[in-house]
Amino acid sequence: MKVAIVCECLKGQCKVAHHFGLAPLVCIFEDGKEAERTLNPAIKMERRRGRTLAEFLASKGVEVVVGPPLQGHGGRDWVTELGMRYIEKEPGTPVEEVLKELFS
């Protein structure tokens, strides 16, 4: 299973970001192991950040997206419309904790 977590990392500690479209990083895991860590390609956009990020994740073959609870419909709708599942986690949740839940 390929999972993307929108995250904020500081001193090697990655946590679920506070905002889907404004998350500085995206960590992609395949079968529980980190496959890629990349900058959010939509972070500097003024509009359509959620859509752009969802399209980027779909292009990477992501099946599950983990991020903060979403207000409104934008990001979640794009994620699900593109065939991925969205799992909400509280901002600040350590990435390791999320991975244990998903891959245990």
Q: What is the pLDDT of residues 30-61, one digit of tens each?
A: 998 999 999 999 888 788 888 899 999 999 99
What pLDDT, on a 0 to 100 scale, did the predictor assign at position 12? 84
The residues near 76 (Cβ < 8 Å, ≥ 6 apart) are: 70, 86
Calpha distance 92→46 (Å, rounded): 24
Q: Which domains does the chain have, with CATH numbers?
A: 2-103 (3.30.420.130)
Segment 63-88 shows an average pLDDT of 87
What pLDDT, on a 0 to 100 scale, did the predictor assign at position 45? 75
Calpha distance 47→99 (Å, rounded): 30
pLDDT in tens, 1-20: 999 999 999 988 999 999 98
Segment 63-87 shows an average pLDDT of 87
Pair 80, 20: CB distance under 8 Å: no
Average pLDDT across the chain, whole number: 91
